[in-house]
Amino acid sequence: MLSPLGAQDADALAAHLRRLSPQDRQTRFFNPMSDAAIDRYVERIDWAGAILFGLRIEGTLRGVGELVADGEIAVTVEEGWRHLALGRVLVAALLVAAKARGLRSAKLFYLNENVPMRALVGDLGARLSADHGVTEARVPVGR
């Protein structure tokens, strides 16, 4: 079930991110992330300024999407729950939130080898620019 996340969900968010494999953490953060680094990341979230949505399956957070004030979107879906369009659901919800904030576009950064993200942003009509193995996708909101 898709629902907004708030500061009260910080522990569930940290647990979700800790369940990601080392490669998945690298894909999400572009750096290796220890459990302690994940905990620090969650502690620094601007819950008042960011918009987060979570997908809970049988009560456990399995996917998370985050929109920060400058329009950047980040999405994670746990192994075993991929290829079910959960990432698309999260991005769609965040694009609606971006439009409600008055943004004209949102941006997603991903490693060039992230094939599922490439397909997702391609379907959204994103403008792409790549540099040093990272692609920036600018997605118009309100499509």
Which tokens go with 18? 């800790």
Query: 40: which residues sit within 8 A by CB, 6+ positions away?
Result: none
How many Å apart are CA 143 and CA 138, to the nearest integer? Answer: 13
pLDDT at 124: 92
pLDDT at 32: 95
CB 89 within 8 A of CB 43: no
pLDDT in tens, the chain (143 residues): 999 999 999 999 999 999 999 999 999 999 999 999 999 999 999 999 999 999 999 999 999 999 998 999 999 999 999 989 999 999 999 999 999 999 999 999 999 999 989 999 999 999 999 999 999 999 999 75
Domain parsing of the chain, residue ranges: 2-103
CB 42 within 8 A of CB 52: no
The class (CATH top level) of 2-103 is: alpha beta
Place of tokens 């009509």: 125
pTM for this prediction:
0.92
Q: Is the dihedral of CA 138, 31, 4, 77 positive or negative?
A: positive
pLDDT at 83: 87
**Phi first, then psi: what are they for 40, rounded to 5°?**
-65, -40
